[in-house]
């Protein structure tokens, strides 16, 4: 099974509008070191196409919708995000691709580490090889 979880955030706010507050330990398990967001993405674009060696992320589609295709080297799952009340929590060693962006899609990512290109695996064959190496060293 592909290792991911969907976090359901509690909505505060009142009849005038909604609010969600996220706190480490309560709503997701890591210390945030970086936040980034993407928007204005072409509907048919495929973003991501990488895995991380260490990074943990909580991914929130704060507006619109898009699909996350998660791959652990053996199985794939597509997670459709279309609500700011949900977060997709993923750890390292998951190949991820994002696609099917609605025109109003804004994706906000909470990340456990600063940006570090050496944490990226951008070649699918290298990803498979590293998985193989880590399972044979256990």
> Which residue numbers are catalytic?
50
Q: Judged by CB, which is closer to ligand TYD: 11, or 45?
A: 45
Given 22, 38, 77, 128, the residue binding ligand TYD (CB under 6 A): 38
Q: What distance in Å separates the CA atoms of residue 58 and residue 108, rounded to the nearest whole number? A: 8
Shortest Å distance, C-beta 97 to ligand TYD: 9
Q: Judged by CB, which is closer to ligand TYD: 8, or 49?
A: 49
Contacting residues for 81 by C-beta, under 8 A, at least 6 apart? 59, 60, 61, 65, 66, 67, 68, 88, 107
Sites for ligand TYD among residues 8-37 (CB under 6 A): 34, 36
Question: Tokens standing for 127?
Answer: 């990803």
Question: Tokens standing for 10?
Answer: 């509690």
Sites for ligand TYD among residues 53-72 (CB under 6 A): none
Contacting residues for 37 by C-beta, under 8 A, at least 6 apart? 62, 106, 107, 108, 109
Shortest Å distance, C-beta 56 to ligand TYD: 14
Sites for ligand TYD among residues 73-132 (CB under 6 A): 115
Half-sphere exposure of 21 (CA within 13 A, CB side): 4
Shortest Å distance, C-beta 23 to ligand TYD: 22
Q: Judged by CB, which is closer to ligand TYD: 27, or 34?
A: 34
- Residue with tokens 């929590």, as numbered in its chain: 89
Binding-site ranges for ligand TYD (CB under 6 A): 34, 36, 38, 47-48, 115
């Amino acid at each position: 099974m592909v290792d991911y979880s969907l976090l359901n955030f509690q909505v505060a706010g009142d009849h005038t509008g909604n609010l969600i507050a996220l706190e480490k330990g309560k709503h997701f398990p890591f210390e945030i070191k970086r936040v980034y967001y993407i928007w204005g993405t072409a509907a048919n674009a495929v973003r991501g196409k990488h895995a991380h060696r260490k990074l943990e992320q909580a991914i929130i589609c704060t507006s619109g919708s898009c699909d996350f295709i998660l791959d652990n080297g053996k199985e794939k799952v597509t997670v459709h995000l279309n609500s700011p009340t949900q977060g997709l929590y993923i750890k390292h060693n998951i190949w991820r691709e994002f696609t099917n962006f609605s025109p109003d899609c804004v994706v906000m990512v909470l990340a456990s580490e600063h940006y570090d290109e050496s944490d990226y695996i951008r070649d699918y064959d290298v990803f498979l090889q590293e998985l193989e190496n880590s399972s044979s060293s256990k």
